[in-house]
Amino acid sequence: MAIATTRTRRTDIVFAFTVALALALAWVLREVLLLLYVSALFAVVLKPLVEFVARVKIGRWRPFHRMGIFILLLGAGGLLTAFGFLAIPPVVRDLHQLGGDLPQRLPHMLDKLKSVPFVSNINTEKIEGAVTGTATYLLLSIKNWADVLFNLAMGLILTVYFTLEGDGAYRWVLSFFPVAQRDRLDATLRKAEGRMGKWLLGQGSLMVILGVASTITFALLHVRYAYALGFLTGLLNIIPVVGAAVSIALALLVAAVDSWGRVIGVAVFYLIYVNVENSFLTPRIMRSCVGLPGLSILVGLLIGSAVAGVVGALVAVPTTVLVAVLMDEYLVQRQ
């Protein structure tokens, strides 16, 4: 009896050390694990769209069979390339013209700036120091930007691999669970997969709404590059809140080149839209697509952004769907 008790204690100690070691290793590899999770999640979200492309038929011929993910990547790359050809040349032309006119226009701009109240009290040495510090920071952050681009490339490659070989990896993960519980877990995860796939439809709707609304607003205000800025605003809205904020900040910067009235118009539009999207559009569209209450979606966005920043906000809604389905199956008590 004493030998059995000793073996039990020894097993408990070994198990505790194994769990502690696994948690320590997970903490060290947290960025890699986050990249794997985000890539797998996007593979699940994109699966319905990939299957739709693969089912396209021309008569009895299925030209995109087993090539859905590559057709989507090719289409996205072509769209971005077309955007670059349309948007970049006028921007480069205007910057070149501004560089030539700046020596003549700078004194006039400084005189207008001095006429603004309280500007005369600004310490120009502090501004110069801040500009210098910003330039130094940008030079030192080149490595960080290289790491970001590398992670984006690896995330894209992993998403493609998960899309092509995800079923094998899924069955391998299921094999770690007892046979008696495997079918239940498989049914639960497939239910979550179906609801997570609809998230892309809801997010795409929000992107189109913001893109169209911002394009119309910028065109009515006669902001430069209105169509390019509207397209970019809608595209970046795939990142909740942050993406729209970055694109609107760019629109404010462009509007400031011409007049303060256009800056005020863009700012008013953004303030109105943010309130409408956060309080009305996002809760209702996401609730109809993924079947979650609006409050849970907003809480998920807050938690995701707090845990992993922009990436966390990006995958917050599908992760909330996954957690909700698992909790509904395993924690909710039913009579």
Query: Domain spans of the chain?
Result: 29-101+145-176, 193-335
What integer pLDDT is reported at residue 127 of this predicted model?
Answer: 47
Phi, psi for residue 7 in degrees, rounded to 5 = -65, -40
C-alpha dihedral, 116 to 121 to 123 to 127, nearest 10°: -20
Strand partners, 196: none
| 8 A C-beta contact, residue 98 and residue 106 | no
What are residue 58's DSSP bridge partners?
61
Tokens in use for 122?
Answer: 């600004």
- The confidence score (pLDDT) of residue 216 equals 92
* φ, ψ of residue 113 in degrees (nearest 5): -65, -35
Q: What is the pLDDT of residues 189-209, one digit of tens each?
A: 888 888 888 888 888 888 889
Q: Which two tokens stand for residue 49?
A: 């769209």
pLDDT digits (tens, 9 = 90+) for 32-46: 888 888 888 888 888
Beta strand spans in 213-328 (E): none
Instruction: Tell me what pLDDT residue 143 has.
Output: 56
Tell if the pTM clears 0.75, that is, is over it.
Answer: no
* 96-111 tens-digit pLDDT: 666 666 566 656 655 5
Residue type, 25: L
Amino acid at 208: V
User: ∠ CA(65), CA(68), CA(74), 5° rounding?
Assistant: 130
> What pLDDT score was predicted for residue 122?
53
Residues in the chain predicted with pLDDT less than 50, given as ranges, are 124, 127-128, 131-132, 135, 138
Burial of 201 (0-12, 13-18, 19+ CB in 10 A): middle
Q: What is the structure's pLDDT at 239?
A: 77
pLDDT score recorded for residue 135 = 47
pLDDT of residue 56: 76
Computed over its alpha carbons, how large is the radius of gyration of the chain? 26
Q: Helices 316-330 and 282-290 meet at what angle, rounded to 10?
A: 50
